[in-house]
Amino acid sequence: MRTASAQGSLHLDGDFRHEALFYRGLDGWLEGTAAFVQEGLEADEPAFVVAGAPKLAALKAELGPGADLVQYADMEEVGLNPARIIPAWTDFLARSAPQGQRVRGVGEPIWAERSPDELIECQRHESLLNVAFADSPGWWLLCPYDIGELGPEVVEEARRSHPFLWQDGAHTESLIYRDLETAAAPFDVPLPVAPTAARKISLTLKTLSLIRGIVDRAASAHGLDQARASDLVLSVNELTGNSLRHGGGAGTLRIWTQGRTLICEIEDTGHIDKPLAGRERPATDQERGFGLWLVNQMCDLVQVRTFKTGSVVRLHMSRV
């Protein structure tokens, strides 16, 4: 096992510490993450590592017997839709630090093969982590970024979403970190324009009853299997109903294909003003307000934007 450690690091002071690890290649990843996790184990701090399966296997081999004391999850499963990652961390804290004990996490949601749509949602997720856990005591989340593979603009955004940075053995504070108020503001980064060939349906009480059939036929024509088609139909039905109830009584549904992916977009004049909408598990006695949670659990990717003129929710579902 490597003897590298995180000596000289800025230790927890009782608050949530969100830090980007800038590394190069698998050796660099192992050098940083193994030292970080091992240091936590020696301090009796439970650890949860969420990364790609090959890296998890390499880390387990690197940690040796200590590997059995660490929790693991495959990021390509947990974070296919990045909106599911914050709930995974929330569950980890609930089971491992119910009284606010110190814990550690390693989460790598961004890698070079991510699509542009996935990338921007991962970057939004990284920023929202600071909002979600601002009041969570005693845990340290390390987010690795392979600077040998990722573009400079991705690294620059990591400096904005992480208050702390770790590179070449040195721990520093980011000088361009985005504050919590900015991170929690409505997300209004424009989405790529829908193609002119997209099917467009105006949402009214009359058309609402037809939506399920329209989406189901589109899913079948695109080759989605029955389970995924049903999930998409249910998701669109939930959001179009919300548009009529809470989005000004009207809206628009657009449907189109993009390679292997079928996309359904719902636009209305309502405003989604809760930054963590769809990323917090609903209370067991909650009777309403969990539409975005449901669609995030069912769809491959969910993109939410709120503008002065209203909101857009774009659902992605791909053929397997």
Residue 5 falls inside a structural domain:
no
Phi, psi of 305 (to 5 degrees): -130, 140
Residue 35 falls inside a structural domain:
yes
Q: Are residues 234 and 260 in the same domain?
A: yes
Phi, psi of 200 (to 5 degrees): -125, 125
Closest CA to 49 of 126, 105, 131: 105
Q: Are 191 and 29 in contact (CB under 8 A)?
A: no
Q: Are residues 100 and 211 in the same domain?
A: no
The CA-atom distances, in angstroms, between 298 and each of 11, 50, 59, 234 are: 38, 20, 30, 9
Quick one: angle between helices 226-246 and 291-298, nearest 10? 160
Residue 275 falls inside a structural domain:
yes
Residue 251 falls inside a structural domain:
yes
Which domain range does residue 96 map to?
17-184
Out of 157, 184, 211, pick the residue that ends a domain.
184
Q: Are residues 120 and 162 in the same domain?
A: yes
Could you please report the per-residue DSSP string of 155-174?
HHHHHHH-SEEEETTEEEE-
Residue 10 falls inside a structural domain:
no
Residue 207 falls inside a structural domain:
yes
Out of 141, 160, 184, pick the residue that ends a domain.
184
* Structure tokens given for 265: 């977009």
Q: Are residues 117 and 230 in the same domain?
A: no
What total of structural domains would you count in the chain? Answer: 2
User: pLDDT value at position 247?
Assistant: 61
Q: Are residues 51 and 120 in the same domain?
A: yes
| Non-local CB neighbours of 267 within 8 Å, separated by 6+ positions | 251, 252, 254, 310, 311, 312, 313
Q: Are residues 255 and 207 in the same domain?
A: yes
Q: Are residues 138 and 217 in the same domain?
A: no
User: pLDDT value at position 13?
Assistant: 46
Rounded distance between C-alpha atoms, residue 256 and residue 211, angstroms:
14
Q: Are residues 144 and 252 in the same domain?
A: no
User: pLDDT value at position 287?
Assistant: 60
> Which CATH number is 267's domain given?
3.30.565.10
Q: Are residues 137 and 208 in the same domain?
A: no
Residue 136 falls inside a structural domain:
yes
Out of 134, 154, 184, pick the residue that ends a domain.
184
Q: Are residues 91 and 204 in the same domain?
A: no
Residue 11 falls inside a structural domain:
no
User: pLDDT value at position 157?
Assistant: 98
Rounded distance between C-alpha atoms, residue 38 and residue 2, angstroms:
10
Q: Are residues 106 and 45 in the same domain?
A: yes
User: pLDDT value at position 289?
Assistant: 63
Residuewise pLDDT in 10s, the chain (320 residues): 333 344 444 444 458 999 999 999 999 999 999 999 999 999 999 999 999 999 999 999 999 999 999 999 999 999 999 999 999 999 999 999 998 899 999 999 999 999 999 999 999 999 999 999 998 988 999 999 999 999 999 999 999 999 999 999 999 999 999 999 999 999 999 999 999 999 999 998 888 889 999 999 999 999 999 999 999 999 999 999 888 876 667 789 999 999 999 999 999 998 888 999 999 998 876 666 678 999 999 999 999 999 999 999 999 999 98
Q: Are residues 33 and 176 in the same domain?
A: yes
